[in-house]
Copies of this chain bind each other. A is one copy, B any other.
Amino acid sequence: MLSHPEAPSDEPRSKRAAILDAAAATFCKEGYAGASIDAIANTAGVSRQTIYNQIGDKEKLFKAVVAQLTEYSSARFFAILETFPTEPRNLEQELTAFAKRLLEMSCCDQHGKWLLRLANMEGQRHPDLFAAWRQYGPGRKYPAIAARFAQLAHAGYLEVDDPTLAARQFMALVSADIRFDMQFGTRPSQAEVEANAESAVRTFLRAFAPR
């Protein structure tokens, strides 16, 4: 059968997945230049040659990693966004639960963490790649959340002038504490995540609840 090097769809799934996972981890830990193909192959439990066969040179490998992380992370986010409390019975409680889900997904999830790290590290080097990420990532996340807040405001649950601003500030508050721990690879504890979500939502509602 044909096996396009670009879209090897299904067959070599597990090998390819192992390679991409190992590559993501290694790129994150060592940076693009510092990540050697040998190290990646070793981590993936795969011969170096297999990487060249399946994916291609280092540049293509990097792009494939970013593409996969972007897709995966974006899918997770929009799945969670479906659980936004559009018609809340207890706004604070349900918004807090939503914030917790978001934190657990966005900050403690390895893929999202890796993607953010790679964007920070190699953003200048591959501007085209991460321009796409920016559009699919933050560029679609904020408007999506903003729409939900606008909905809440329209229904009288909130008092917001600028939903986009509210969305950005909500995200900023929710991920306030986490960024440092996250960037260092130290996973914040469950208790920290919950406490942070609670205080973030409390402050957010103090600012945007109807008077």
Could you list which residues of chain A lie within 8 angstroms of chain B, going by C-beta atoms?
Answer: 29-34, 117, 119-121, 123-125, 127, 130, 134, 138, 162, 165, 168-169, 171-173, 175-177, 180, 183-185, 199-200, 203-204, 206-208
**Chain B residues, CB < 8 A from A207:** 203-204, 206-207
- Is B33 a contact of A30 with CB atoms below 8 Å? yes
Pick from B31, B127, B162, B173: contact of A173, CB below 8 A. B173
- Is A124 a contact of B29 with CB atoms below 8 Å? yes
Could you tell me the distance between the alpha carbons of A73 and B9 in the complex, rounded to whole angstroms? Answer: 49
Given contacts A138-B180, A183-B119, A207-B206, contact A31 B31 (CB under 8 A): yes
| Most B C-beta atoms less than 10 A away, residue of A30, A119, A204 | A30
Could you tell me the distance between the alpha carbons of A71 and B20 in the complex, rounded to whole angstroms? Answer: 39
- Is A31 a contact of B29 with CB atoms below 8 Å? no
Could you tell me the distance between the alpha carbons of A49 and B37 in the complex, rounded to whole angstroms? Answer: 31
- Is B176 a contact of A169 with CB atoms below 8 Å? yes
Could you tell me the distance between the alpha carbons of A172 and B196 in the complex, rounded to whole angstroms? Answer: 12
Pick from B120, B171, B177, B208: contact of A168, CB below 8 A. B177
Pick from B34, B127, B168, B175: contact of A31, CB below 8 A. B34
**Chain B residues, CB < 8 A from A168:** 176-177
**Chain B residues, CB < 8 A from A30:** 33, 125
19 contacts between A and B (CB under 8 A): A29-B124, A31-B32, A31-B33, A32-B34, A33-B34, A117-B120, A119-B183, A123-B185, A124-B184, A127-B184, A162-B199, A168-B177, A169-B173, A172-B172, A172-B175, A172-B176, A204-B207, A206-B207, A206-B208
**Chain B residues, CB < 8 A from A199:** 162, 165, 169
Chain B's nearest CB lies how many Å from the CB of A125?
A: 8
Pick from B29, B134, B176, B183: contact of A120, CB below 8 A. B183
Give me the 8 closest cross-chain CB pairs, A-B, nearest first: A33-B34, A172-B176, A31-B31, A207-B207, A206-B207, A33-B33, A172-B172, A203-B207
